[in-house]
Chain A
Amino acid sequence: MTSYGGSGARRLAGLAALAVVPTAVLGVFFVLPVTGMVSRGFVTDGALDLGGVLEVLGRPRTRRVLWFTVWSSAVATTIAVLLGLPAAYATHRLRWPGRRVVRACLLVPFVLPTVVVGVAFRQLLGEAGPLGFLGLDGTARAIIAGLVFFNVAVVVRGVGAAWESLDARPGEAAAALGASPAQVFRTVTWPQLRPAVVSSASVVFLFCATAFGVVLTLGGLRYASVETEIYLLTVQRLDLQAAAALSVVQLLAVTVLLLLAARLRAVPDATVTRRAPAPRRPRRVDTVPLVLTALVLAFVAMPVLALVTGSLRPDDSWSLEAYRALSGRGSAPGQGGTALLVPVTEALVTSLRTAVDATWMALLLGGLLALLLTRRSRSRTERRVRSVLDGLFMLPLGVSAVTLGFGFLITLDEPPLDLRDSPLLIPLAQALVALPLVVRTLVPVLSGVDDRLRQAAASLGAGPVRTLVTVDLPVVWKPLLAAGGFAFAVSLGEFGATSFLARPDDPTLPVVIFRLIGRPGPLNDEMAMAASVVLAGTTALVMLLVERLRVPSVGAL
């Protein structure tokens, strides 16, 4: 009896040790900066001023901003789901040549920097662009198109992963009993798929509601979302009270959404072995989803193609000049003027270096968390603590990069936490962004490991580390690699937080692209596009490698 109690205490101590590093990191690099920033807004002249905050929420403009955020995100989410479902089906249930490449391509937008996409979209939709006749530039429809562009990938991945592992036999049985394809979908497939769809939809809604670059570049100034409003209030107006009020509303909304998503996620018990059906050849009934997938691919490819052609056509004739110029620092007319402090290629190296760091940080933190989250809970409290932790680490997805960036500067400025200049700050910020993706990839795999195996190993005398290496690692190394690839790609494309933290003489590729766009000078614009193509290509390559690892849960939130 006593020995049982002793091992229980030791177990809890072990779990707490696992939790220490990730919690400390989140505490210092997320909770502290955000609360620091928010409290500046809530406290006026040393006293808590809730009246002022409430006054902000009552402003007609605030209400308009909130309403726009909600409805545009809702519409974009609906469209993303409607487009994503057939694509998820076609790329995960059907077997046809090139489907893995298509899957990787569909994922690229999700990790592209928003500045790049914003410019590409405007080049297409602008009054003189190839799609200018649609008159979409600066409208809410353009914003929604941009949001859909970014988020279709989330639906394709999330729903696709669930669809792929659905047991096909019940459906086949229903069909054999005379059910039409529509009936099979409605009565058999849909009920099994619903959790994944709802969960993806809630994540997409979250991404849409916190989108920044897309709304700002595509919406002109007629439209403001909560996120762009926080940016304007903080950066341009220095109205911290209003910014804090909106930040709190945003945090609350995100928390509610995450709780909802967690409830709906209800992953099927992963320890039950199921027969993952092999994808089959397309039949005639599959024409519709295949055609829709082609349309989604075209929609996703269009802005990317606009970038490619733009980068290859400086001076209206085809050439690789812009790509060759990437080894230089851009141009400004006159003797030896340059647009950048470092060559674009050097920025690429910085990006890759930063991404390596962000990746190991995300894997380390995510790995520890996933271990923690998948250990079987022995009490209600334990389970509750777990789900709180789980939600807590998703929060960085829903907080404005401006709030975080400014928060870093005002809270991490004194010893022992004077980290404003630490070279690890940027990779850490990026790791926090990638963390939820890593955790969501690893958790289903780890929870698929039968706990009895670990118990058996332990009873045979293996220590916790030995157990981890012999039981968990063989199952988890591939997903770990895949999650690493995903984190790497996210880090490569991260712009929001990085733009606040990057040093001018050591920028990353997205930051350099943004600067090139803003500088006049022959070829700078084309160079920006060429650099974007390089970035998109690198990302696509990484995603393709990740695809080859065939981990179903990758990228499913």
Chain B
Amino acid sequence: MTVSGVLGALLLTSCSLIGTGDDDSAADPSTGTSGGAEAGGPVVLVTHDSFSLPKKLVKQFEADTGYELELRSNGDAGSMTSQLVLNVDNPLGDVAFGVDNTFAGRALEAGVFAPYRGEWPAGVEDFALPGDDEGVLTPVDNGDVCVNIDTAWFDAEGLEPPQTLEDLTDPAYEDLFVTSGATTSSPGFAFLLATIAAYGEDWPTYWEDLLDNGAKVVPGWEDAYFVDFTAGGGGARPIVLSYDSSPAFTTTDDGSETTTAALLETCFEQVEYVGVLAGAENPAGAQAVVDWMLTPEVQAALPNSMYVFPVVDGVELPEAWAEFAPRPEEPLAVDAAEIDENRDAWLTEWQDLVSR
């Protein structure tokens, strides 16, 4: 009895409980009493930990629809997909954003999503997932994983910079390339897929050549870019795996030029999707979120919030992006179903190559 008494008293003074209580009541003074609760209620958006959108947009969404948007995130895109698949019978939320084309096959196969297709503005169709016959996934954003180079470094050294995947195995560029691992990072896996798209069954030979030429493999994109890349954090390697948007972040102080460039022949396209979860408690709210992701406001906010390009045509890009982040015309691609089928075999073989 004393124990439960003490426990009760402690629960009353609990910081977390009181703290979140405050947050909730502060967040929805407008929706709480307005009577919109009947049509609204909470809608839970499951996403990865890179998700970010301006608070103002979220507030606007809640005011317009009467729903309360609750975010739930657990790890990166891969981790999120795994959790969605594990919890398929009792979904973690109503709607999920952030499953990309390299993981979509796994989610589709497990039946994570329920069919829903809203109004798609012009341009979205181009990014629809091939093989999504039921129409469960809606494209939201895209970006290309490309090899980047420190142009300033190559100028200073008087060395002709590389251009293609093949060039990276050229002894002229020995010990100059750093990439993140396919087993530990999503861009790393995209790069492996790029080489598979380019070399087909011979990709292991390409990787052997690449590793023989001193390519360095580190766990995460941030390790590669901020520790090893010459233009990122003062590392020692002028060639790095990153994104086609990265050069927009390495502009000179006056903003007149950028000091890095993406090699547009080495790019693999990543598309991120949103979808209503099968068994959602609030399917109407989930559909509202899917539609909201394609609104001009959200699409325009994507570059600055999540470092990705919008899928809707005609959305204005930030200045630096428009100027310094040219995009590949025909990025390399591998079919989602094929990825799903071979993922384990590819990753196992890749891992063996790298740890040999």
A residues sitting closer than 8 Å to B (CB atoms) are 17-18, 20-21, 40, 61, 119, 122-123, 126-128, 132, 138, 216-217, 220-224, 232, 234-239, 332-341, 350, 353-354, 356-357, 360, 364, 368, 405-406, 409-410, 413-414, 420-421, 423-424, 426-427, 465, 499-501, 503-506, 511, 515, 517-521, 525
Contacts and interface: CB of A to CB of B under 8 A. Distances in A.
A518 B226 CA distance: 9
B7 interface: yes
Contacts of B321: 334
A18 B20 CA distance: 30
Given A427-B16, A520-B249, A503 B72 contact: yes
Contacts of B23: 506
Nearest to B86: A410
B184 to A, nearest CB: 7
Given A333-B318, A338-B52, A353-B16, A518 B87 contact: no
A499 B75 contact: yes
Given A332-B305, A338-B52, A353-B19, A517 B226 contact: yes
Interface stretch (B137-145, B202-210, B234-242): B234-242
B246 A504 contact: no
B227 A126 contact: yes
Tell me whether chain B's interface is mostly helix, strand or loop, or mixed. helix
A420 B92 contact: yes
Contact of A337 (B73, B223, B304): B304
Contacts of A410: 86-87
B82 interface: yes
A520 B217 CA distance: 20
B227 A423 contact: no
Contacts of B184: 216, 221, 232, 236
Given A236-B184, A517-B226, A520-B246, 7 more contacts: A122-B227, A126-B236, A235-B75, A237-B343, A238-B106, A332-B305, A525-B226
B83 interface: yes
Contacts of A515: 49-50
A427 B18 CA distance: 14
B315 interface: no
Contacts of B305: 332, 337-338
A521 B246 CA distance: 10
B329 interface: no
B235 A503 contact: no
Among B17, B55, B227, B321, max chain A CB count under 10 A is at B227
B75 to A, nearest CB: 6
Given A409-B83, A521-B249, A424 B344 contact: no
Given A217-B223, A235-B79, A237-B347, A424 B86 contact: no
Contacts of B303: 334, 337
Interface in B326-356: 343-344, 347-348, 351-352, 354-355
Q: Nearest 9 A-B pairs (CB), nearest first?
A: A337-B304, A334-B318, A127-B236, A128-B236, A353-B15, A423-B16, A504-B73, A334-B304, A221-B181
B32 interface: no
Contacts of A338: 52, 54, 304-305
Given A216-B184, A222-B355, A409 B74 contact: yes
Contacts of A339: 52
12 contacts: A17-B3, A119-B222, A221-B217, A232-B183, A235-B79, A334-B320, A335-B304, A338-B304, A341-B55, A409-B87, A413-B87, A504-B73
A503 B71 contact: yes
Contact of A128 (B7, B74, B234, B354): B234
A238 B354 contact: no
B38 to A, nearest CB: 22
Interface of B: 2-3, 6-7, 10, 14-17, 19-20, 23, 47, 49-52, 54-55, 71-76, 78-79, 82-83, 85-87, 90, 92, 106, 181, 183-184, 216-223, 225-228, 230, 233-237, 246, 248-249, 251, 303-305, 307, 318-321, 343-344, 347-348, 351-352, 354-355
A221 B351 contact: yes
Nearest to B230: A128
B179 to A, nearest CB: 10
B219 A216 contact: yes
A334 B322 CA distance: 11
B237 A332 contact: no
Nearest to A60: B352
B87 to A, nearest CB: 6
Contacts of A238: 82, 85-86, 106
Nearest to B321: A334
A509 B52 CA distance: 17
Contact of A122 (B3, B217, B223): B223
Contact of B90 (A127, A237, A413, A518): A413
A72 to B, nearest CB: 14
B355 A504 contact: no
Contact of A127 (B6, B106, B235): B235
A426 B55 CA distance: 24
A17 B4 CA distance: 10
A377 B303 CA distance: 65
Contacts of B236: 126-128, 132
A180 to B, nearest CB: 49
Contacts of A350: 19
A289 to B, nearest CB: 35
B349 to A, nearest CB: 12
Contacts of A519: 307
Contacts of A217: 219-220, 223
Given A122-B223, A127-B237, A333 B249 contact: yes
A277 B18 CA distance: 47
Among A20, A238, A511, max chain B CB count under 10 A is at A238
Given A334-B303, A506-B20, A517 B52 contact: no
Contacts of B217: 220-221
A426 B106 CA distance: 29
Contact of B307 (A239, A341, A423, A520): A520
Contacts of A421: 72
Given A222-B355, A406-B86, A518-B220, A336 B54 contact: yes
B354 A222 contact: yes
B354 A221 contact: yes
A51 B301 CA distance: 51
Contacts of A17: 3
Contacts of A132: 236
Contacts of B49: 499, 504, 511, 515
A364 B318 contact: no
A420 B70 CA distance: 13
A335 B318 contact: yes
Contacts of B15: 353-354, 356-357
B87 A127 contact: no
A409 B347 contact: no
Contact of B50 (A122, A364, A420, A518): A518
A128 B47 contact: no
Contact of A354 (B7, B16, B223, B307): B16
Contacts of A332: 249, 304-305, 307
Nearest to B106: A238
A220 B7 CA distance: 45
Contact of A221 (B85, B219, B249, B319): B219
Contacts of B54: 336, 338
